[in-house]
Amino acid sequence: MSILNPAVAANPGIPGSPQLRIWLARLGFPVAGLALLLAIWWYGGWLVGRNPDTFAFAGFGPQYALPAAWQLVTGGQLSAIVVPSLSRIGQGLLWAVVAGVPIGILLGSLTWARQLANFPFQLLRMVSPLAWMPVAVLAFATWEGAIVFLIFMAAVWPILFSTAFGVQRIDPMYYKVARNFGASHLAMLRRLVLPAVAPDMLAGFRLALGVAWVVLVPAEYLGVTSGLGYAINDARDILAYDLLAALVLIIGVIGFLLDSIVVMLTRYFGWQGS
């Protein structure tokens, strides 16, 4: 049995042996894509640097941003910047899971509840999370609470709707079999519903993480004095464009790593459920 991805093996556009195609798919193409991105970034920085009108922004180029990023990593400043942001993201996502999963299970299980909540939830879902900023400032005594609330509002809807969709996909015959074996509602929830919807919940969590990570930076423009958003705002104020670009790069790398972790968990639970 071949271990080659069928999509890669069947692609006539990838030349060479199966082993070469595997290598290209797993490593060669990602590295080439990263090199292309760096080349475009460098060329853009070069164009900005050679233009007298935009020369002051030359720090955005990789030849300045990469050393600044390395200095943040090796100088010990990065953890002080990143940890508060990760803490806020973690709190917001935790509350989104606590609220979104039970409500999603309820909506997926009860038709009348789904019909009742569909319109107001869809209406709230379409409101930009940042539009809740004035409400968050008034409702919470601290800036930390307001930021966590904004992240929660960004993350709860993908988790809720993905969970509800997963519950709706469960074959009703499974419930009948579980009841015939005398399973209680709690046992069905633990042994049937949660394992069955785990891949859907993680898919929703992945979407929620992406949206929350995007919302984090502008949310941290509020009155806090720590985090990635604050650091970017501070770098802009002091015209440290090399530091600003380095922080943007770090945000992208951390977001990619977090997304990769969720993808691995989704694959693992998808395999467990198969």
> What percent of the chain is predicted at pLDDT more than 70?
87
The chain-wide mean pLDDT, for the chain, equals 83
Residue 25 shares a structural domain with residue 101: no
Residue 139 shares a structural domain with residue 185: yes
Residue 176 shares a structural domain with residue 132: yes
> What percent of the chain is predicted at pLDDT more than 90?
29
Which residue range forms the structural domain that includes residue 16? 1-42
Cα-based distances in Å from 160 to 20, 114, 132, 207, 260: 42, 12, 19, 11, 21
Please state the domain count of the chain. 2
In a domain, 55, yes or no: no
Q: What is the pTM of this model?
A: 0.80
Please tell me the predicted confidence (pLDDT) of residue 3: 41
In a domain, 103, yes or no: yes
Q: What is the pLDDT of residues 199-251, one digit of tens each?
A: 889 989 999 999 999 999 888 887 788 888 888 988 888 888 888 889 999 99
Note the maximum CA span of the chain: 79
In a domain, 58, yes or no: no
Residue 166 shares a structural domain with residue 243: yes
Q: Which two tokens stand for residue 94?
A: 């935790």
In a domain, 168, yes or no: yes
The CA distance from 166 to 45, in Å, is 46
Cα-to-chain-centroid distance, residue 155: 9
Residue 132 shares a structural domain with residue 209: yes
Residue 36 shares a structural domain with residue 127: no
Cα-to-chain-centroid distance, residue 40: 25
Residue 147 shares a structural domain with residue 250: yes
| pLDDT tops 90 at residue 152 | yes
Indicate the residue type of 207: L
